[in-house]
Structure 1
Amino acid sequence: MSMKVLACIDGSQYSQSCCEYAAWVAQRMKAQIDVVYVTDLRQFEIPFVADLSGSLGLQPYQSIMGELQQLEEQKASLVLERAEDLVRKAGFEGEVSRIHKTGFLVDSLSELEETAELIVIGKRGENANFAAEHLGSTMERVVRASSKPCLVASRAFQPVDKVMLAYENVPSCNAAIDYFCNSIFFSDIELHLVSVSKKDDEAGVLSELKAAEDRLGSAGLKVNCQMLHGAVAPELSEYAKETGIGLLAMGAYGHSKIRHLIIGSTTTEILRDCRLPTLLFR
């Protein structure tokens, strides 16, 4: 069975870069692309729409709902057609499948990702321009629910020739190391392995960083290894700017939900502040 890349789109501004990154990844992996659009049922469940049945009577209400659903079908068809066009314009010549689901993306995810090697999704959705500093809720739910690596697309596509792997010795980051070692995706891309430490734990972090570097090196990857000091998100963002990094890779949401509620998530902070596409591993 050939590999597949799953591109999740919603017709928003981020859908274009999502398609372009999916094309880039699939081309490198020699994979197929499944483009999926999910009709969000919530738009038919808001109180105003539900109250129409009482105001108009059952028959007119059913007629209006039928028209709304028909319009949504047309929108889905246009969005998927546009997505395939973008993938082709990005230079992808392999197989592209269009998938339209009704419901919620996260509920369909286990079925959709079953044959996928990697998922591509936009950092924000249809309301991106109204909450520019906030991440899309669908994106975060997908990343948390998925068992596959998720590439979170930035607003605009940029060619990638340097990748930074933000490393700490936790299962999600070690899953990233395993993926890098076993995937042709990164075989000819300059790789920067970077850790951020506090002064009091520098020796331990350095030892773990060296072990990760050795694993990557044994897989034939050329690694530029760096230790940074300070706050994680600002240090990684600054390093990426200085070195021309085109893609950030990191472990995602490694702490408990309780800890996330109390002090927030480093993953969320980096995704919000960093303008790069980000490849996340669980």
Structure 2
Amino acid sequence: MTEQVMAAIDGSQFSEAICDYAAWASKALDVSLTFVHVVDNHPQTAEADLSGTIGLGSREHLLEELAELDERRAKVAQEHGRLMLKAAIERARQDGIEEPCSRQRNGTLVETLIELEGDIRLLVIGKRGESAGLDSEHLGSNLERVVRGMHRPILMVPPVFKAPERVMIAFDGSKTTRKGVEMLASSPLFQGIDCHVLMVGADTGDTRSQLDWALEALRHAGHVAQGDIRAGEVEETLRTYQQEHDIDMLVMGAYGHSRIRQLLVGSTTTSVLRSAETPVLLLR
């Protein structure tokens, strides 16, 4: 199968925005769109604990009932997923996608996405899943595992869609972020979108040279581009610049070689993604 935009949906409040961002990306990249929903059939912990408290006389009977309950729950979950996929297909058609596709799998989200990775050009996913409330500070272990396990670009989206007009790349001169600039310059995903480049650190001759290279690459590709070098704490500096310039999307390399690297290998990862109010495109 040719590479496509793949959107992972569940019953969370992010699902509609996932559909809209996925449709936007599919049209911009001129590739097909597939929605995927994963039914996790693993028994719940509470039920496993319950089975251990059953008396000897009734244990076998109640275990059979628990098994039947699991089977009924799995069927309900599958039907719920089919309805969500059907709704996603319809929304994508309303967004202008002619032939969106869908897949439903049993298993875990991370394992499924890694299995399908060869088909993915861009993965679109919400920053929290069905089990986390919209106001929760819990990012969701699924997203963190997906970020660490996937080797494809991942677009993490907020709960409301807005077509990007200004994009910012967090740039540190590393190989990963230089590739990110080149991708930003050449990708049809960002055609007609103003590009900003931000470096966090000391304004030296070397960093100024790196920034000039990035801006020239973007301008040579036809983008309106501007950038800056700012001292300060990475996360706060990125957020401040984003607010000052009304940035619609943040682009980051998942693994760099400076302080920006810490955003996606340590606890700061969760903080940055959790606080993001705009889409974040993670590059690998």
CA distance in 2: counterparts of 1:233 and 1:163, whole angstroms:
17
Tell me the secondary structure at the aligned position of residue 239 of structure 1: helix
Q: Is the 8 A contact 2:174 2:257 kept in 1?
A: no
Gap regions ≥5 residues in structure 1:
none
Q: Which structure has more helix as a fraction of its residues?
A: 1
Q: Could you give the per-residue CA deviations for residues 52-102 of structure 1, whole angstroms, max 9, x where no partner exists?
A: 48363454333222211111111111121122233233x132321111111
- Report the alpha carbon displacement of residue 185 of structure 1 after superposing the two structures with TM: 1.2
1:123 to 2:127 alignment? yes
CA distance 1:104–1:88, shift in 2 (3 Å):
same
User: Mean alpha-carbon deviation: is it higher for 171-180 or for 128-137?
Assistant: 128-137
CA distance in 2: counterparts of 1:51 and 1:266, whole angstroms:
38
CA distance in 1: counterparts of 2:15 and 2:134, whole angstroms:
16
- Report the alpha carbon displacement of residue 170 of structure 1 after superposing the two structures with TM: 2.1
CA distance in 2: counterparts of 1:45 and 1:266, whole angstroms:
30
TM-score normalised per structure 2: 0.87
- Report the alpha carbon displacement of residue 190 of structure 1 after superposing the two structures with TM: 0.7
Question: Counterpart of 1:16?
Answer: 16
CA distance 1:94–1:174, shift in 2 (3 Å):
farther
User: Mean alpha-carbon deviation: is it higher for 219-228 or for 144-153?
Assistant: 219-228
1:39 to 2:43 alignment? no
Which of 204, 208, 214 pairs up with 2:216? Answer: 214
Q: Is the 8 A contact 2:154 2:281 kept in 1?
A: yes
Tell me the secondary structure at the aligned position of residue 118 of structure 1: strand
Question: Counterpart of 2:141?
Answer: 137
CA distance in 1: counterparts of 2:22 and 2:69, whole angstroms:
37
Which of 225, 228, 231 pairs up with 2:227? Answer: 225
Q: Which amino acid aligns with 1:15?
A: S
CA distance in 1: counterparts of 2:166 and 2:73, whole angstroms:
46
1:65 to 2:58 alignment? no
Q: Which amino acid aligns with 1:28?
A: A
- Report the alpha carbon displacement of residue 34 of structure 1 after superposing the two structures with TM: 0.8
Tell me the secondary structure at the aligned position of residue 214 of structure 1: helix
Q: Is the 8 A contact 2:172 2:256 kept in 1?
A: no
Tell me the secondary structure at the aligned position of residue 128 of structure 1: coil
User: Mean alpha-carbon deviation: is it higher for 26-35 or for 178-187?
Assistant: 178-187
Equivalenced residues, count:
275
Tell me the secondary structure at the aligned position of residue 38 of structure 2: strand
Question: Counterpart of 1:235?
Answer: 237
CA distance 1:39–1:171, shift in 2 (3 Å):
farther
- Report the alpha carbon displacement of residue 280 of structure 1 after superposing the two structures with TM: 0.5
Which of 161, 175, 197 pairs up with 1:193? Answer: 197
Q: Which amino acid aligns with 1:69?
A: A
Q: Share of identical aligned residues, percent?
A: 34
CA distance in 2: counterparts of 1:266 and 1:210, whole angstroms:
28
TM-score normalised per structure 1: 0.87
Question: Counterpart of 1:251?
Answer: 253
Tell me the secondary structure at the aligned position of residue 92 of structure 1: coil
Q: Which amino acid aligns with 2:118?
A: E
Q: Which amino acid aligns with 1:241?
A: Q
Q: Could you give the per-residue CA deviations for residues 130-151 of structure 1, whole angstroms, max 9, x where no partner exists?
A: 7622312111111111111100
CA distance 1:133–1:124, shift in 2 (3 Å):
same
Tell me the secondary structure at the aligned position of residue 139 of structure 2: coil
Which of 58, 78, 84 pairs up with 1:79? Answer: 84
Question: Counterpart of 1:274?
Answer: 276
Question: Counterpart of 1:48?
Answer: 47
- Report the alpha carbon displacement of residue 221 of structure 1 after superposing the two structures with TM: 2.8
